[in-house]
Structure 1
């Protein structure tokens, strides 16, 4: 197919033409294309592409766990400010957290998914999942699902509420408010915690997998009482439907910190560019020492929830595990639809790929991210 036939729009900088070709090829292979791709190099946007009927570069999509990256940036700023000490117990900031044997869990252990507090017995309702204050109250009284510090596992639906409650206790405002005032507004980012009513017209609802793939996914679903099932709230009655979750206005309005990210590829790639390179004439968000702290591996071995090896740095996902062509300190976060976003400090590249429909077999970022990220990195190294 030609670019015109697959409906690829947007621009790339000189030297990034092959990125456009790869993006067009990915769109041509999708029976329902709808995606965005953005990249920055040294703080300058070099890729801004989109494809799919009814989708533009300005469209706002449900990006789920991509929100976690914004949470960790806020925490990194508070550590940088000296407001949070990574090695103090969480309970020193949030006394109620000490219940059920959790008194010694440090902020560092919590951020690196070692607390064992991946959910609650019986699961959460949709209204509870949408409200971080309710999540925090229920989690404070929950026993961990493994002895803290003996292993690690992805706290899929709850890490934002847990870390967010620490932020609330030390800063007297929510992590969402701090993100808005210290990151989103100053750096002009089109990525939101809680989608304002005035922006609803730009929201493109997430689409489910086709029926045949839905059946295949259901056949391979984890047991509700497994660690994976608990972490993804499959132990609730009914279990969480991710498509319905994001397409519910109350969820978009509240913007839960673990799963309520709404925006576009431009916004996410710009956020990570702000972190390592700066934007709009502003300095980088993170000082070199703090950046090094948060991009150092804190756990090793297999993730007890996802089975992924060496999954995390400090909060952020370790991107070199998925994409070996990146530096060892590359950091970022994926989102349930197959979205992927990262910053590679070694090359000064930031990347974001977003989708409006769930991928199949993505495992923390749709498979096409390998092709697209390779094309972006190859172009950047030739500059």
Structure 2
């Protein structure tokens, strides 16, 4: 179907002043060369102001896989435990989890771990989907793993394992899993459609992720600049395993969704993504923000900068979150969140009072946040700047 023949119906609502966001959402879908479809939700100072969806088989409450946007949920739990005084970012990981000290990792602090500085991005011998699905099994494999660079000296994206690593610290300190604490402290109280462990009863709402379709330009770029098959990126994303990890198959595996793997196994609607970040920074339904001012400042602060040794991009991390101002410089100081491989994006911008969530079912290439997020997020901030907030 040509772009000229394509008719895209956008469903949902926007609040007064946010009409331009709906127009941008429709424009993005109309320009999609593959299979347009996704969800967009935005909260402004705790109130949902954008709730849109479109595409075959997609509803407002559909639940696609959100890949690494899951990391935002896992690290919100960790931030709450730091805020409570249960965890200390400056203590060593090994002080909570003694087995982790093996292979020269004993001096690594928790803050260095959540900033992706451990060097433990994979396991020797490879990891299959069954191992990756279960954070407890994964943590056992990684405890004695040699790091792939000297811990603390650089940062590199721990794409599929960071949730198991930080989650094991949480489990050692509390006796509870990240998944249990997220359910208890975040998801259930706010009724969020964001699941680290999708119940069987909700499986009919799961929207299977579909493989990406490269444009001719993307195909040519991939051919001209192939990923080093022996490099850190191939390692961290499981491409060196036998067989190589298929990220689409990974997300569409029931065990991954059922266990809620804390690096990339979450399932959420855009409403769920935006709602979580709204709860983190804003009063919602009479509840105070989850993060107090000091912790909010910490999750928005980058301690270490430079180039990611896995991805080759300047993508610094805070307390397990991505610094959202790096890809979106129009956001306010201290914005934080996390994107996901298929194209999802979620973040909080405390300066503008914005919480943003976006999902899509067709894998966006080359990976990471779908390119349209830049246009959509910019439209959201323009609208937020123009809307009067009554005292």
Q: Name the TM tier (shorter chain).
A: over 0.9
What are the Cα deviations for residues 75-115 of structure 1, in whole angstroms up to 9, with x where unaligned?
Answer: 01101111101111101110100100011111010011111
Aligned to 2:113: 110
Aligned to 2:23: 21
> Does the alignment pair 1:309 with 2:311?
no
TM-score (structure 2 length as normaliser): 0.94
What are the Cα deviations for residues 198-227 of structure 1, in whole angstroms up to 9, with x where unaligned?
Answer: 000001100101377796687455233211
Q: How does 1:44-59 map to 2 (within 5 A)?
A: 44-59=47-62
Distance 1:138 1:198 in 2: 31
* Contact 2:79–2:319, Cα closer than 8 Å, also in 1: no
> Does the alignment pair 1:154 with 2:157?
yes
- Distance change (3 Å), C-alpha of 1:310 and 1:200: closer
* Contact 2:120–2:145, Cα closer than 8 Å, also in 1: yes
Quick one: which of 284, 292, 295 aligns to 1:287? 292
* Contact 2:214–2:365, Cα closer than 8 Å, also in 1: no
Distance 1:136 1:24 in 2: 43
Aligned to 1:99: 102
- Distance change (3 Å), C-alpha of 1:328 and 1:27: same
Q: Return the offset for 1:251.
A: 1.2
Quick one: which of 370, 376, 386 aligns to 1:372? 376
* Contact 1:76–1:290, Cα closer than 8 Å, also in 2: yes
Aligned to 1:297: 302
Distance 1:293 1:239 in 2: 37
Aligned to 1:345: 350
Aligned to 1:169: 172
Distance 2:53 2:248 in 1: 21
Q: How does 1:181-192 map to 2 (within 5 A)?
A: 181-192=184-195
Q: Return the offset for 1:328.
A: 2.5
- Distance change (3 Å), C-alpha of 1:60 and 1:221: farther
Unaligned runs of 5+ in 1: none
Distance 2:335 2:103 in 1: 35
Aligned to 1:124: 127
* Contact 2:115–2:316, Cα closer than 8 Å, also in 1: no
RMSD: 1.7
Distance 1:228 1:119 in 2: 10
Aligned to 1:6: 8
> Does the alignment pair 1:199 with 2:205?
no
Distance 2:315 2:371 in 1: 19
Aligned to 2:146: 143
What are the Cα deviations for residues 166-216 of structure 1, in whole angstroms up to 9, with x where unaligned?
Answer: 000011010000000000001111000111100000011001013777966
* Contact 2:213–2:365, Cα closer than 8 Å, also in 1: no
SS in 2 for 1:61: strand
Unaligned runs of 5+ in 2: none
Aligned to 2:233: 228
Distance 2:214 2:49 in 1: 37
